[in-house]
Structure 1
Amino acid sequence: MTPFHAGLYQCAYYTTGDILSERSDSLLLVVTGLYGAPSLSAQPSPVVASGENVSLSCSSNLTSGTFHLLKEGAADPPGHMEAKPRMHAGRWWAIFPLGPMNTSHGGIYRCYGSLSTYPNVWSQPSAPLHIEVTASRPKDYTVENLIRMGVAGLVLVVLGVLLFQARNDTRKTHDAARMGTQRQQHTVQSGGALEPI
């Protein structure tokens, strides 16, 4: 294979009487291995919980063109993304967002790069990147539990204050009644007479 073999192919056949049949669907033939391999990485991690998102980052020192993302064993056509004119440390970058993740997203991914002048001539493949999709992470209820505990503590404090105040008010009423009784007894003992009001 050479770069000149890359491109779209169709076939047809001649029927009786040299009549040409309809053409077949187009078949894209890609030639790989002509440029250096790009790098492929996953953010935030190649291990991702079901329902979350992950981004696959493909980078290369190719000056322009398209990045191609392929999953091993997948029947889907490769994903394509134009290289952004964004350079970091002399490399071009393209991001492939995936998600929300489910078990079908798991597997081995590779990316390729191609020049804009030869879109069907691809680089060598990147090193394989294994994406693992795990069960959904249990929800972290720490903050909610802390809020609930704080509210419960506040309610207990308020109830304690109300109980203390009610007890204090009862004691004051009781003390006032006892003082009134003692005054009456003292007045009677000293010979005084209580006049009706």
Structure 2
Amino acid sequence: MDPKETTLLCLGDFPMPFISAKSSPVIPLDGSVKIQCQAIREAYLTQLMILKNSTYREIDRKLKFWNKTDPEFIINHMDTNKAGRYRCQYRIGQYMFRYSDTLELVVTDSINQDYTMQNLIRMAVAGLVLVALLAILVENWHSHKALNKEASADVAEPSWSQQMCQPGLTFARTPSVCK
């Protein structure tokens, strides 16, 4: 077996990649964000990774074409599962190199809903229910009052009141007056 000379050429550390969000790291819910990872010219592969469960997981990778050193990654339909800490890493040859700094993406609910119309509808429905209950109460009171009048008219008057109010002559031969 012939001994082979192996030459190790060390040119120093490669620069750390740079990661940035094109617009803002604060993304509205269901919005999209464009992430740019700056790598060096010699990098042929750039990876975008997210920190989940204390480990970085690859989200996407871009191969270098036409000496483009700033690959862009687009994340659509942002939600809380896609929010988090992102990093880039590039590859030269068969070796992976350092991570970029961390980019924190935050998802916000950009729709500050105005609940005025819904509240007005609720108040109107509550008012209608109140009016309906009031109508039921008045109808009940009115029917109860009418029932009491009928009941009092049906009750027979005592016999002594009929005897006292019978028209006729009294002992002094004067007509009696009934009320």
Give the TM-score, by structure 2 length: 0.50
Larger Rg: 2
Give the TM-score, by structure 1 length: 0.46
Higher normalized strand content (fraction of residues) = 1
